[in-house]
């Protein structure tokens, strides 16, 4: 009886779908809307470095994508600051944004919308 149980457990373990881990990349590509000027922009920056968009400063702490054999998804952990007079900053957003569901975790700002478009590897995307 015990041998059947071990065999069955091994069989179930082998047939269960395995999921690959997210792939961290070093560049985030964002979309932005200036609601006042009615302009849509695409901009990018290195993970960990500040990115300016209007009066916002955006920093991506991480940007990950799924492997090609899985459902497409790009996600980034962003911290967004409103730049104020005198060089001060006010945090207006901190959290994960997902490329496939921008409304799931959105920036609530009266002038700007920001969303994740994709994550890239800067070494692979540079022309030679």
Structure confidence by residue, pLDDT tens digits, 63-119: 999 988 888 899 999 999 999 999 899 999 999 999 999 889 899 999 999 999 999
Whether 2 is covered by a domain: the verdict is no
How far apart are alpha carbons 62 and 43 in whole angstroms? 16
Whether 15 is covered by a domain: the verdict is no
Count of beta carbons in the 10 Å neighbourhood of residue 28: 31
Q: Is it the case that residue 1 has pLDDT exceeding 60?
A: no
pLDDT band at 18 (very low <50, low <70, confident <90, very high): low
Three-state SS for 72?
coil
Q: Pairing relation of β-strands 74-83 and 89-98?
A: antiparallel
- What's the structural domain count of the chain? 1
Return the pLDDT at 118: 95
Which residues constitute the domain of residue 62? 21-121
Q: Is it the case that residue 128 has pLDDT exceeding 60?
A: no
pLDDT band at 11 (very low <50, low <70, confident <90, very high): very low
Whether 25 is covered by a domain: the verdict is yes
Whether 81 is covered by a domain: the verdict is yes
């Amino acid at each position: 009886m015990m041998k059947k149980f071990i065999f069955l457990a091994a069989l179930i373990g082998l047939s269960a779908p395995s999921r690959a881990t997210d792939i961290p990349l070093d560049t985030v590509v964002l979309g932005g809307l200036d609601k006042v000027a009615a302009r849509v922009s695409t901009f990018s920056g290195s993970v960990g470095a500040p990115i300016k968009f209007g009066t916002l400063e955006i920093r991506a702490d991480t940007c990950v994508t799924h492997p090609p054999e899985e459902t497409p998804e790009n996600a980034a952990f962003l911290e967004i600051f409103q730049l104020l007079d005198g060089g001060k900053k006010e945090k207006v957003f901190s959290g994960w944004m997902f490329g496939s569901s921008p409304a799931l975790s959105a920036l609530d700002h009266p002038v700007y919308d920001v969303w994740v478009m994709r994550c890239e590897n800067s070494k692979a995307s540079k022309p030679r």
